[in-house]
Structure 1
Amino acid sequence: MTFSIAARCPETGMLGVAVASSSIAVASRCCHLQAGVGAVMSQNVTNPLLGPLALQAMASGLRGAALLQQLAQADPYLQWRQLLLLPARGEGSTFSGQHALGIHATASGADCLAGGNILHGDSIPQQMVAAFAASSGHLADRLLAAMQAAVAAGGEAGPIHAAGLKLVASQAWPVIDLRIDWSDGEPIAELSQLWQRYRPQMQDYITRAENPEHAPGFAVPGVAASR
């Protein structure tokens, strides 16, 4: 019921994830990021606690089998989960439990991991990785290119209704956190449109947080110079 990608940009240090699902508000449960530490997708009969736990373990230096062992100790139902575990540096890992739903698969590429369950076909994560590798530009654009490739390849076995895009840079908070929590249309296309609306304003919101004296004002009725 879900397909997703976690990725990093070696040039900027940004980390990001993108996800789509038939389940409402999927990004609110599945997407986990920490600047300078890693990107985690926790999906398939989701336990949202696994995201923060995985990031904490990554921050302490755990990777691969040792990381999965710690998560298994924290969650006795790990065999119902699917995980993408991408550290800010070093090799990432994926996991699909024996109770993962429907056709499920994961794939690894340079600076990215992809995975999904209840898929139209098991090659979809690999096609997402290939699309990410063939793309260029902002990390958000590359993540969305991978998601669009998944849709073109058949995506989820049924209709998708929700999608999300989340990225961190050097700040302790996400610089991009965009969601289509429910749509009867095309949520990935709608998410791409939302990103194009947000993109020219992104740096202004960062400046507002870090140095409001230099933040541009936006005209708001009733406020002379809104910041």
Structure 2
Amino acid sequence: MTFTIVARDKDTGLLGIAQSTNPLSVGARCPFIRANVGAVSTQAYTDPGLGPLAIELLSLGHSPEKVIAELGESDPGYAWRQIGIVDRHGRVAAHTGSEAKNYKGAVIGDGYVVMGNLLLTDQVLPDMEKAWRDSAGELFEERLMRVITAGRDAGGDAGGHRSACLMVYDTEPYGRTDLRVDFAPKKKGEPDAVDLLRRAFDTYRPMIPYYKVRPHNPSMIGWIDWLKSQGIEYKD
């Protein structure tokens, strides 16, 4: 149903999530990040309310492992949920309920978790983790994109890929990158949500430094002129 990476960049402290799924608008229901606190994805037969609750518990200093346990105590539907958590220290925990559909599981590493449910093959998660490891040194968002692309290429969601999202937070209370594809029709030969997210990110990527500076310098030149000043020609 959904495949995801939740991660912290150990060099910069950036927190991020990338994911794709068959249902619409995954970015509206599953990913939650608060700067300097942590990142959470709640998926499978998700209760979106668990995301803000998990973030609040992390903000109180609870470890990801403790948050996983506390969510289980409060949620009567916990057997249907899949949850991955990374906190601002890079500590990680995950839960995959017994009622989540196969293939399912989570792989935990240093500062990251890759996880999924209702996956087409059992190769999805290993390939996602490999993409994460192989992309060390790349821009954080690029690494996240490569991970979900690898998951999709290994089969991804057994139902297809109608929606996808990429979310990264720095120290500000808003995302440095927050891109979504809410609906990509399942038509043979047409780009799926992961393809469209890649297109959106490749277009947005040069703007990351611009949007970092502009809140503190609102009189700076417009974004198209700024791109030109960087030697980049914008094309729709």
TM-score by length of 2: 0.87
In 2, the alpha carbon distance for the partners of 1:88 and 1:125 equals 23
Q: Deviation of residue 206 (structure 1)? A: 2.7
In 2, the alpha carbon distance for the partners of 1:31 and 1:173 equals 14
Structure 2 letter corresponding to 1:196: D
Is 1:207 aligned to residue 208 of structure 2?
no
Q: How does 1:11-160 map to 2 (within 5 A)?
A: 11-135=11-135, 136-160=137-161
Aligned to 1:223: none
In 2, the alpha carbon distance for the partners of 1:208 and 1:90 equals 29
User: After superposition, what is the alpha-carbon deviation per residue over 1:154-186, rounded to whole angstroms, capped at 9, x for unaligned?
Assistant: 111121111100000010111111011111232
**1:141 is paired with a residue of what secondary structure?**
helix
User: After superposition, what is the alpha-carbon deviation per residue over 1:2-27, rounded to whole angstroms, capped at 9, x for unaligned?
Assistant: 10101111111111000100000111
Root-mean-square deviation (CA), in Å? Answer: 1.7
Aligned to 2:169: 168
In 1, the alpha carbon distance for the partners of 2:86 and 2:11 equals 16
In 1, the alpha carbon distance for the partners of 2:89 and 2:23 equals 31
User: After superposition, what is the alpha-carbon deviation per residue over 1:117-150, rounded to whole angstroms, capped at 9, x for unaligned?
Assistant: 1101234223211210110311100001111111
In 2, the alpha carbon distance for the partners of 1:219 and 1:128 equals 35
In 1, the alpha carbon distance for the partners of 2:176 and 2:91 equals 24
Q: Name whichever of 155-164 and 57-66 sits farther off.
A: 57-66
Which structure 2 residue ranges, 5 or more long, are not aligned? 186-190, 226-236
Contact 2:20 2:164 in 1 (8 A): yes
Contact 2:58 2:64 in 1 (8 A): no
Q: 1:216 aligns with which of 207, 218, 221?
A: 221
Aligned to 1:224: none
In 2, the alpha carbon distance for the partners of 1:125 and 1:37 equals 26
Contact 1:162 1:180 in 2 (8 A): yes
Which structure 1 residue ranges, 5 or more long, are not aligned? 221-227
Give 4+ residue runs of structure 1 displaced > 6 Å after superposition.
none
Structure 2 letter corresponding to 1:151: R
TM-score by length of 1: 0.91
> Between the two proteins, what is the percent identity of the paired residues?
31
